[in-house]
C-alpha cells in the first residue's frame, strides 16, 4: 500500500527540517484525524494482533494509523530519540505511565483526546474496553529504535531494545 500523502497542514511541519516539538506533533495528529477521508478507507482490524499503516513519512516526521481490538496493547516502551503524539479517533485507549515513584498510573483517552510522549518518556497503550479503537500517531524524528521495559517492585528495568521503523512492536506473551 502506498503511503497517503498529506500535502499541507496549517502547522507546516511536514516540510520542516528539524525535530518537531510536542505541541506541533499534537496539532498534526489532530489535523490528520479531522481529515477522515484520507485515513478512514484504510482502517482494518486484525484479531490477535494490532493493525497499523504508515500514512506519511519523511526524514523529520512519521504519521501512522493504528487500530485496536479489545485487549490489544503495546508493552511499556519509549520511542528512542523520537517524541510522539497520538489522538484517539474511535473508541477509547488507556495510556499507562510510571509516576515519579515508579508506580504505574493510567488515564483513559477518548475520542478527540491526545497523548504526548516526550523523548525518553515511557508509556504503554492498550484497549481495555469492549469497543474497537482507532488512533493516529506521529513521531519526530522518525522512530529508529524503541526500548521495552518490565515493571517490578523496584520500578522499571529494560527488557530489550529493538531497532525498528514501525511505531510499536506487538507485545510479547506474558512470561511466568
Q: Which residues are annotated as a binding site for Fe cation?
A: 77, 79, 123
Q: Is 137 helix (H, G, I), strand (E, B) or coil?
A: strand
* Secondary structure tally for the chain: helices H, strands E: 2, 10
Dist. CA 66–CA 21, nearest whole Å: 22
Answer whether the bond into residue 114 is a cis peptide, omega within 30°.
no
Q: Is the dihedral of CA 26, 164, 90, 36 positive or negative?
A: positive
For residue 147, count other CB atoms closer than 10 A to its CB: 17
Residue ranges of the binding site: 77, 79, 123
Dist. CA 118–CA 122, nearest whole Å: 9
Dist. CA 73–CA 146, nearest whole Å: 15
Amino acid at each position: 500500500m502506498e503511503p497517503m500523502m498529506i500535502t499541507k497542514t496549517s502547522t507546516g511541519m511536514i516540510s520542516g527540517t528539524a525535530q518537531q516539538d510536542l505541541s506541533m506533533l499534537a496539532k498534526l495528529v489532530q489535523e490528520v484525524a479531522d481529515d477522515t477521508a484520507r485515513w478512514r478507507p484504510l482502517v482494518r482490524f486484525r484479531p490477535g494482533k494490532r493493525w497499523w499503516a504508515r500514512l506519511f513519512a519523511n526524514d523529520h516526521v512519521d504519521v501512522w494509523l493504528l487500530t485496536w481490538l479489545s485487549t490489544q496493547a503495546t508493552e511499556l516502551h519509549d520511542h528512542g530519540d523520537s517524541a510522539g503524539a497520538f489522538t484517539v479517533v474511535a473508541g477509547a485507549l488507556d495510556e499507562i505511565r510510571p509516576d515519579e515513584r515508579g508506580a504505574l498510573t493510567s488515564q483513559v483517552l477518548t475520542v478527540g483526546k491526545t497523548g504526548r510522549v516526550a523523548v525518553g518518556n515511557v508509556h504503554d497503550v492498550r484497549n481495555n474496553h469492549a469497543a474497537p479503537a482507532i488512533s493516529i500517531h506521529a513521531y519526530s524524528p522518525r522512530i529508529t529504535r524503541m526500548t521495552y521495559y518490565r515493571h517490578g517492585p523496584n520500578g522499571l528495568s529494560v527488557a530489550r531494545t529493538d531497532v525498528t521503523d514501525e511505531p510499536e512492536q506487538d507485545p510479547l506473551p506474558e512470561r511466568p
